[in-house]
């Protein structure tokens, strides 16, 4: 999750303590079984949650852009994401 598919220059800047702490938490009693259950039933979870659609329903001014990126979006896709973020901020400030 932290290193897979991330460019080596980005992975070099990610302190091991971040993923080591997640790993420590995953190894607490019952946590690994919970993660396995989520992965096993992921299709049902995605259908049930539909997070982006829910957010857009609750936040009418919300704008969504789905990018092929992971947890390190700004490190790996900043050239695409940053202008979208800045444009949204500028437009919402003008209408506020």
Residue with tokens 């919402």: 92
Alpha-helical runs (H) found in the chain: 8-11, 16-26, 31-40, 42-49, 51-58, 73-76, 78-95
Token output for 8: 């080596």
Query: What does the pLDDT look like over 15-32, one tens digit per residue?
Result: 888 788 888 998 999 999
Give the pTM. Answer: 0.52
Q: Is 42 exposed, middle or buried (0-12, 13-18, 19+ CB in 10 A)?
A: exposed
List the structure tokens of 96: 């506020």
Q: pLDDT tens digit string along 38-81? A: 888 777 766 665 777 778 888 888 888 888 777 778 888 889 99
Domains of the chain by residue range: 1-49, 64-96
Task: Give the model's pLDDT for residue 89.
Answer: 92
């Amino acid at each position: 999750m932290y290193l897979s598919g991330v460019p080596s220059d980005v992975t070099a800047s990610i302190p091991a303590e971040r993923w080591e702490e997640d790993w420590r938490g995953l190894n607490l009693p019952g946590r690994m079984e919970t993660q396995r259950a989520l992965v096993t039933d992921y299709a049902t979870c995605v259908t049930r949650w539909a997070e982006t659609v829910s957010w857009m329903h609750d936040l009418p001014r919300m704008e969504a852009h789905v990018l092929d990126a992971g947890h390190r979006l700004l490190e790996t896709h900043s050239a695409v994401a940053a202008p979208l973020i800045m444009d949204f901020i500028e437009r919402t400030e003008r209408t506020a």
